[in-house]
Structure 1
């Protein structure tokens, strides 16, 4: 009697286990893995970056993407010698003293004539070193916002776009070597695994995990196609958009712009954890990441049946940036659109901190120069040399405060 009852019960439980749906992987799940201490900051060419690449390959397989790297794999490897001159060209080569990075590439093939490239870099700074703003020795730089956030959104878009908006194919690229100088994206455009002449446009997501309470979202590259401004403003329901025309910037979209491909770069702003060990998983705004992903999906959907986008060259704002001999020691708020330059972070033991400047202060005058925006701030700063002292006036909660800056 007992056996007759237990046996059917066993089969019910077995069938229930077999048919239970898989738990969906969330933004948090992907970020938590990529930004875990176990990967020690995913520095390009290390064993820990290879572990991250393997994770991304398996995620792409689980999303039914086709491999589009080298030799029918998801990997596109590139070997290079690190640059001694920061302004020099990287040398892709083999031999001694070389590093091998790995782009991870998946393809959603809708048999369409046009392809949209969606990219995000997954490498970071490892234990610190060059590029780090941390001054207390070696430490794991997890890079949750920079740029596990963008990679998590890339994977979500890959999942969302299956069997939808089929008038384009989609190439999803997780880039290596971005922190060393856009190396992975630069290598890809010079050694593409698809026909670049059929690329409709490229979407880049880099540091998209810290959407602020006022929902400010920066989008660069809006001048690279005549249609961008109209499409973005029409699709926007949630954000205070800060639109910048230039297709050139410090992230992987630049490599595609230089190949005459329209681009967009999504960015939620700089913060005091940038390039520091404190850029951790728990500090991300996951609801904000969902909002931005939905927004990008809406933009793609609105353009699904359009003709191939026309490319347009833009003014390169970076060529107009003045050269500096000194630094104030602050992180500017690049999303601030009021008058002046708002400080988003203050570095330890630097001129700004010594002068008593604080996060949230708005610099309105530096020396004899009135500061109305980022460019006027940079022009003012470029006029000083080490050993100079000058006054600075900041707006702090509506009150003007004057201090002395010593460089």
Structure 2
């Protein structure tokens, strides 16, 4: 009965939006985020009623925007899986009913321009519910993880791009995919590439938006995958007049573009950086930069426009930079600013009751030395960290404004 009432409430909520003065096709980025990150969707955990309500909403938006269905069941592509107990094992998509299984739902819409090749534009819409595995919340009570930035923001930009592309840039077809199961290991995108509803040999390139809702004052935007086709680095630079771009050549990373890179399709992934609310209940709608999201959507549209008459882009393999990341047994308990390109490692957030907080480190501090090792960037920071074990003590030096501050760390 509870589930029936919940679904009825969500249907009423959707109907209220549909009956407003605006049609579904004219909904703004902010309105899309507001629906997807509402408490009523209970954090959109994969397979939950809230995720299914989000899928229905996205399908409605696709229909209103004039996208045709491209899933095995209308706009929907469902996949059933058993959660992994070993992070290194392959996910089992072939399971028996009742065997602790979960059903995820990809939402797929198609814009057919009768072109030879198709651009894939994707973003995941699932999140962590009340704090599924991956949550960084350490409170005693369960709290809804609304995932406004992660990743209602990416879906909202995807829908905005669909609206922009309806009448322009006819050199390619467009496949828009809202992925389920990303938080559980890129499951929806992985499943799609193995059960594609288009001929993937005709896929031109893939664009992925994951956490694009918190553009900072310095307008730093990370663009990953620029090495996956020879022209991409040039195009990313040539169309930029608004952002401080942080480039990464690799096509491998912790989001859905990786599934397409592994299928030998060029990719670009857009990301505005982590923050203190990442995978916590505080990732809510009032903290997003909606003007920044509009600017990012326009930038991606400009990249698509520039490539419209370039034909099919050649794929190029890139180095998997994650293979070079040192393994470490301890942590400072900080959120690094992955978009910082100065000297050192800038702290973007400090976790409660962890070594950094106990040592008095603060958000905005820049780590320049850890133990005997100089810290010049993220990689040197991780190398320095990998030398320590639980119980070790050492000194850390940070830049705080114009001053250098030394503190003692106990791991």
Aligned residue for 1:100, secondary structure, equals: strand
Contact 1:370 1:376 (C-alpha < 8 Å) held by counterparts: yes
- Check 1:21–1:180 CA distance in 2 against 1; reply closer, same or farther (3 A cut): closer
Instruction: Give the TM-score normalised by the residue count of structure 2.
Output: 0.93
The one-character-per-residue Cα deviations of 1:65-119 (angstroms, maximum 9, x if unpaired) are: 0000114x10000000000011211111232110000000000000100100000
Equivalent residue for 1:78? 79
Measured in 2, the distance between the counterparts of 1:21 and 1:100 equals 33
Aligned residue for 1:363, secondary structure, equals: strand
1:29 partnered with 2:49: no
Contact 1:40 1:127 (C-alpha < 8 Å) held by counterparts: yes
Contact 1:129 1:138 (C-alpha < 8 Å) held by counterparts: no
| Bigger Rg, which one | 1
Equivalent residue for 1:336? 340
Farther off after superposition, 319-328 or 334-343: 319-328
State the Cα RMSD in Å: 0.9
Equivalent residue for 1:90? 91
Superposition pairs of residues 42-53 of structure 1, within 5 angstroms: 42-53=44-55
Ranges of 4+ aligned residues in structure 1 off by more than 2 Å: 20-24
- Structure 2 gaps of 5+ residues are 1-20
Superposition pairs of residues 8-407 of structure 1, within 5 angstroms: 22=23, 24-71=26-73, 73-95=74-96, 96-136=99-139, 137-407=141-411
- Structure 1 gaps of 5+ residues are 1-19
Measured in 2, the distance between the counterparts of 1:89 and 1:355 equals 41
How far has the Cα of 1:130 moved from its partner? 1.3
Measured in 1, the distance between the counterparts of 2:81 and 2:162 equals 30
Measured in 2, the distance between the counterparts of 1:348 and 1:236 equals 38
How far has the Cα of 1:216 moved from its partner? 0.5
Equivalent residue for 1:3? none
Farther off after superposition, 85-94 or 270-279: 85-94
Contact 1:272 1:345 (C-alpha < 8 Å) held by counterparts: yes
Measured in 1, the distance between the counterparts of 2:367 and 2:89 equals 34
How far has the Cα of 1:138 moved from its partner? 1.3
Aligned residue for 1:200, secondary structure, equals: strand
Measured in 2, the distance between the counterparts of 1:129 and 1:395 equals 36
How far has the Cα of 1:199 moved from its partner? 0.4
Aligned residue for 1:41, secondary structure, equals: helix
| Corresponding residue pairs, total | 387
The one-character-per-residue Cα deviations of 1:358-383 (angstroms, maximum 9, x if unpaired) are: 00000000000000000000000011
How far has the Cα of 1:21 moved from its partner? 7.0
Equivalent residue for 1:16? none
